[in-house]
Structure 1
């Protein structure tokens, strides 16, 4: 049949040890990948929900608010904080500009703050 193995006992034992070491190495890699996948899945499940509205913040001591964005707007930058619907409406009504890309003013149904309409 398939008799391509060495004929002597010493070499067969060596091959068996070598294969056992490889199996152990493969098993460790499988276990590490399973742990990593479980951690990633836990991270996906425990990730906080994206806020509906965010306020982009400026630089400096007070970090003043600069613009209101929707929660999924890519133009908000890295300095922002989540706000609720009512606070977003209050900030927009108070004169804080709305992002021209995601248009939170339109989604919040505040249509009379459009700067283009005033011109």
Structure 2
């Protein structure tokens, strides 16, 4: 290639570009196929169960209250496990919600 003229180099580079575009188009087609298969697979799976516990987050991303799902509001709350709820109530210093009273179901702070 070092002995080629500028016109020959341009021709080779344009050819190389066409090959790359074809490869990119093939890759995009494969991605579309696998995205469709993944979507079909996700539709066949049962949805995850609703969380039993939630941690309400306040200003500064600090936890405010622990809740049961009766108080669930996904805008302000994050799903947590039973163990995380107990940890937040007992060691984390997060108070229980005064409406749904998660400490009763969890058997802590009675």
TM-score (norm 1): 0.48
- The yes-or-no answer on 1:98 pairing with 2:104 is no
In the alignment, what sits opposite 2:54?
A: 54
In the alignment, what sits opposite 2:84?
A: 87
Rg larger for: 1
Distance in 1 (alpha carbons) for counterparts of 2:85 and 2:57 = 13
Residue 52 of structure 1, CA deviation: 0.4
Residue 47 of structure 1, CA deviation: 4.6
C-alpha spacing 1:50/1:77, structure 2 compared with 1 (3 Å) = closer
Unpaired runs of at least 5, structure 2:
1-42
Distance in 2 (alpha carbons) for counterparts of 1:77 and 1:96 = 18
- Structure 1 counterpart of 2:106, from 100, 104, 108: 108
Unpaired runs of at least 5, structure 1:
1-42, 113-119
TM-score (norm 2): 0.51
Distance in 1 (alpha carbons) for counterparts of 2:48 and 2:74 = 19
List structure 1 segments (4+ residues) > 6 angstroms apart after TM superposition.
Answer: none
Q: How does 1:18-37 map to 2 (within 5 A)?
A: none
Structure with more helix by fraction: 2
Indicate conservation of the 8 Å contact 1:56/1:68, yes or no. yes
Distance in 2 (alpha carbons) for counterparts of 1:77 and 1:103 = 18
Indicate conservation of the 8 Å contact 2:90/2:109, yes or no. no
